[in-house]
Structure 1
């Protein structure tokens, strides 16, 4: 069910949500969080689709904020808010409100969003593109327990990575880091089996890949060795090599969903290591809303006192 509202207010949007739930015979609200997506028209559809798919695991109220900045000073004073309210099959397992802000109201998006947040529920803000320089100090970011950015969506990911390291605040995370979860798990399991001390390391990837840079910094911080960066032609991270006193531990994934794991003195094994969809990455982030300390470690490359892969 979809309800279109023109030149509206937060109060009218809340009434439309209640009206939509009653029309569908589901007046009870069973959602666990509010997801705020700050995006543009070009990326709005894909972002909403990813959030809708993630909502099957985490029922949520999704607020999509699209700022339609004025093209000239005269239009800037024509401030208003349009909204699409979606419930039922059009909104996954929760509710979706698409907010289009025009004119001066673009500068006060937090005031529009605040009355629409679910009471006593966590807030997550996701910027698929055009994230602020300091997410925690952004007016919308300040409302959230979790702030999700994506360094894959910027022109200079490594420069942005340095900026994120300098401005990190508890609650910040990035999908470039989330993409590494299967790699981290596989490396931890491989080292546990090998029971060997790592003396050297290398990470292979395409040039300027933020995930590979985060993985390198994380390995340096946890293993206490310098990690060599090797540029390859493959997509994303294509391989990790850890030198030990017993031989080399390698994970190779040049392309496709399968990787080859090689341990010293053991035959090579084929393991699943696919590139996950955006909805899968978002769903993972919504499972844990506390501070991601390992992301901070990877950003700053700071050595830790714990064992190699103790989280």
Structure 2
């Protein structure tokens, strides 16, 4: 059942809800939370309501939709109440705000919140830069955004990182649950080895691909590369390098993935892209901060982007060792390198410059030649000294 309340107030909406509950017997105490959906009024509003209705079958709640209309119109509130089959297992209140009232969504939401129940805020399309500082975000314990639904998904993901507050989450992260489960299960089988390098490929504007690469970089503490896939949607391929081989999970068609690893048979797993209603229902199961998502956001800066291998990029960051020319003492024969020109011998070694005539290609001969010449000269000098000494002694004997 759908009830329209044009040009109304929040007090009139509350009174109508009480009347419907008394007439239809709806038990408001069965609602476990209040889900506030913030979006612009348009065709996408109904898509968000349908996703919330499906999620409410698992989490009965009151859904309040803040649909912001034209800002230049006169201030007006048009409300719509949906119960029964048109609201799933919840009660839906659609508030269409126009004019200056479009910026006062929080003031219109407060009178309609369920007492003593948690509040979850969801921006299915464009989200504020810092959701925790938004007026509606300040009312909520959990704040859900979707980077993939924004005009620039990668820039939106950077904003989520810069403005993260405990309680924030993103549906781009929720879409990774099956991928993270399959990759984690691959390490439960031998061999139990450390990952030395990883690579994640996907669409260039896929924030889920970036978050998966960041999660691996923060968890494995190994170089991770994020590359663009040639074909396929979303995440396409994940490769984990280990000493024994490669663990690879590939999903080329967006439906079925193939997991391969050394020593194990090839396995086909269901990896179909998740619907928004499934991701929303998963996020509504917990109201505490997601520490693993926080770790992935903080590890975005560790991911290497581009075509350069991650290992080569990591090695390039290290300073290159300085090299010096080998000295004569370090050569095998204790001489200068073969390419160095032979150094001519000085006057003290030999007057005929025999060492200078030695070929440069045989440094061993160049080193031995001066020693041989010096030895011959020494022997010649000693022989002359003996002759002179003999002649002198003979003369003295005759005298």
Normalised to the residue count of structure 1, the TM-score between the two structures is 0.93
Q: Deviations over 1:127-177 (max 9, x none)?
A: 111111110000001100111111111222212211211110011110100
**Residues 18-167 of structure 1 aligned to structure 2 (within 5 Å):** 18-40=18-40, 41-71=42-72, 75=73, 78-167=74-163
Where does the alignment leave 5 or more consecutive residues of structure 1 unmatched? 304-311
Aligned equivalent of 1:227: 224
1 CA distance for matches of 2:25 and 2:250?
A: 52
Q: For residues 260-301 of structure 1, what are the alpha-carbon distances to aligned partners after superposition, in whole Å with 9 as ceiling and x for unaligned?
A: 111211110111111111100000000011101111111110
After superposition, the C-alpha distances for 1:31-55 in whole angstroms (9 at most, x for unaligned) are 1000011112221010000000000
Give, in whole Å, the separation in 1 of the partners of 2:220 and 2:29: 47
Report how far residue 302 of structure 1 moved.
7.7
Partner SS, residue 259 of structure 1? strand
1:189 aligns with 2:185: yes
CA deviation map 1:197-224 (0-9, x unaligned): 1011010111121000011111001101
Q: In structure 2, what is the equivalent of residue 271 of structure 1? A: 269
Q: CA–CA distance in 2 between the matches of 1:100 and 1:221?
A: 43
Larger radius of gyration: 2
> What residue in structure 2 maps to residue 309 of structure 1?
none
Using the alignment, how far apart are the partners of 2:60 and 2:83 within structure 1? 12
Do the aligned partners of 2:210 and 2:300 also contact (CA within 8 Å) in 1? no
Task: Answer yes or no: is the 8 Å Cα contact 2:233–2:254 preserved in 1.
Answer: no
Q: How many angstroms does 1:28 deviate by? A: 4.5
Q: 2:172 is matched with which residue? A: 176
Question: Does the 8 Å contact 2:31/2:61 carry over to 1?
Answer: yes
Deviating beyond 4 angstroms after TM superposition, the runs of 4 or more aligned structure 1 residues are none
Q: Distance in 2 between matches of 1:84 and 1:256?
A: 38
The question of 1:207 aligning with 2:209 is answered: no
* RCO higher in structure (CA 8 A, sep ≥6): 1
Which of 256-265 and 162-171 deviates more?
Answer: 256-265
Moved more, 158-167 or 274-283: 158-167
Residues 273-288 of structure 1: matches in 2 within 5 Å?
273-288=271-286
Q: Distance in 1 between matches of 2:163 and 2:216?
A: 22
Corresponding residue for residue 251 of structure 2: 253
Q: In structure 1, how many angstroms separate the alpha carbons of the residues matched to 2:26 and 2:276?
A: 29
3-state SS, counterpart of residue 288 of structure 1:
coil
Query: Contact between 2:68 and 2:102, CA under 8 Å: does it hold in 1?
Result: yes
Structure 2 partner of 1:307? none
Question: Gaps spanning 5+ residues in structure 2: where?
Answer: 302-399
Q: Distance in 2 between matches of 1:159 and 1:2?
A: 39
Size of the aligned set, in residue pairs, is: 298
Higher strand share: 1
CA deviations 1:202-249 (Å, max 9, x no partner) are: 101111210000111110011011111221121000111101111111
Which residue does the alignment assign to 1:306? none
Deviates more, 1:253-262 or 1:286-295: 253-262
Q: Is the 8 A contact 2:232 2:254 kept in 1?
A: no
Q: Aligned partners of 1:302, 1:3: CA distance in 2, in Å? A: 47
- What TM-score comes out, normalization by structure 2 length? 0.73
